Homo-oligomer: A and B are copies of this chain.
């Protein structure tokens, strides 16, 4: 049975890294002795070691150990034997590129579908969707494909940001960008605001957290979905 938590962001303003998610994380990984951390997204260009160290520090009082995937000789074997997996945020292009080049995209999908507890934040949440094509990140590397895990039957836009009516900046709003996505792609997009997350429990997908989500469908006006809603019919 799938047990997944896909969060918009790792960190809320004024809080410590992952702080707001601790109760959920403890529940998600309650049967896991060791968590495998996938640091491939390398936020701000930091190293795999630095990033894993940050996560180990944040989780030091939680009842499980953390190891980075780069600490294993064989990343595929590491995923096959993991008791729980956390993919952190950063640059989605880097993350997807590395998952493909390490040859682990398929095995990661398979294990999550088989019920290994999975936590994603930001880029780690984006890859839970059908494709990474609604990321906000810069294409700093050319990945072999944009297809991702598809553990939910739609796309996700993490860190969803409402248009700022007071802004004089003429760059595209997030909503305009997603509209451009829908000019050539058909799957729905969940605009997941910071403070919100998707909880997948078996066949049920539920919006949780402090925020409503913005739902975008091709050829439909965008709509709001309050926290607590089921997304089972979104596909």
User: Which residues of A line the B interface, CB within 8 A?
Assistant: 9-14, 42-45, 90-91, 93-94, 132-142, 145-146, 158-159, 161, 168-172, 176-185, 194
Contact = CB atoms under 8 A, between A and B. Distances in A.
Given A44-B179, A180-B45, A171 B159 contact: yes
A181 B139 CA distance: 8
Nearest to A147: B142
A12 B169 CA distance: 8
Given A10-B170, A141-B184, A142-B146, 10 more contacts: A42-B183, A43-B176, A45-B183, A91-B180, A137-B180, A138-B177, A138-B178, A138-B181, A140-B180, A140-B181
B177 A137 contact: yes
Given A161-B171, A169-B159, A170-B9, A180 B42 contact: yes
A142 B91 CA distance: 17
A181 B42 CA distance: 11
A9 B90 CA distance: 27
A145 to B, nearest CB: 7
